[in-house]
């Protein structure tokens, strides 16, 4: 992406790349929109990536 102005019709800005932001971005893409997923940390994933296991399946959260 270059400097200055970005323009694309049908695009949406999602602020925050935790589980909610990622899911929103995925669903919006499926629904036909271009998504900018903005995250202040160097990686996406948020707090869920820190969790060991999640209830009830005790799946690994990653």
Partner 1 sequence: MITNADLLALDGKPGDFTVKVRKRPRYIDADKCTACGLCTQYCPKHLSDAYNEGLSLTRPIHIDYAQAVPATYYIDPSACMSVQHDTCQICVPVCQSHAIDFSQQPEEVDIKVGAMVLSPGFGRIDDATLEKYSYGEHPDVVTAVEFERMTTASGPFLGEVKCFSDGRHPKSMAFIQCVGSRDLGCDNGYCSSVCCMYAIKEAMVAKEHDPEVDITVYYMDIRTQGKDFDKARERAENMGVKFIRAKVAGVTPWENQLRLTYSTLDGKHEFKPYDMVVLSVGLEAPKDAKGIAEMTGIELNHYDFAKTETFTPLNTSVEGVVVAGAFQGPKDIPESVTQASATAGIVAGMLEQQRGLGIVHKSYPDEKPMDEEVRIGVFVCHCGINIASVVDVRKVEDSVEGMDGVVYHTDSLYSCSADAVQTLKNKIIEHNLNRVVIAACSPRTHEPLFQETLRDAGLNRCLIEMVNIRDQCSWVHAGEPEAATDKSQDLLRMAVAKARGMRPLPEQTVPVTPKALVIGAGIAGMTVALTLAGQGFDSVLVEKGEKLGGSLGLLNHTLDADQTANHLKKLIAEVQASKHIDVLTNAELKDFSGFVGNFSSVITEGDGTEHTVDHGVVVLATGGHEHRPDGYLLEENDKVVTQTELEQQLAGDGKAPESIIMVQCAGSRGDDLNYCSKVCCNHAVKNALEIKELNPASQVIVLYRDMRTYGYAEDAYREARLKGVIFIPYDLDQKPQIAASPKGRKLTVKFFDVLLQEEVEMSPDMVALSVGIVPDGTEDLSKLLKAPLTDDRFFLEAHVKLRPVELPVSGVYVCGLAHGPKPVDETIAQAQAAAAKASIPLVKGKVGIDPIVSVIEEDTCIGCGICSSLCPFGAIEMFKKEKKRKARTIAASCKACGICSSRCPTFAIAMGGFTNEQIMDQISAFGNIQADEPVEA
Q: Shortest distance, CB of residue 62 to partner 1, whole angstroms?
A: 5
Q: How far is the CB of 27 from partner 1 (least distance, A)?
A: 4
The torsion of the CA quartet 7, 8, 12, 13, rounded to 10 degrees, works out to: -30
Binding mask 3-42 for partner 1 (x = CB under 8 A): xxxxxxxxxxxxxxxxxxxxxx--xxxxxxxx-xxxxxxx
| Integer angstrom CA distances of residue 6 from 3, 27, 40, 51, 56 | 8, 22, 19, 35, 42
Residues that bind partner 1 (CB under 8 A): 1, 3-24, 27-34, 36-59, 62
């Amino acid at each position: 992406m270059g400097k200055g102005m970005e323009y694309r019709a049908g695009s949406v800005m999602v602020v925050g790349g935790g589980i909610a932001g990622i899911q929103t971005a995925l669903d919006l893409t499926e629904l036909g929109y271009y998504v900018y997923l903005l995250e202040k940390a160097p990686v996406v994933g948020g707090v869920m990536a820190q969790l060991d296991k999640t209830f009830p399946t005790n799946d690994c959260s990653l």
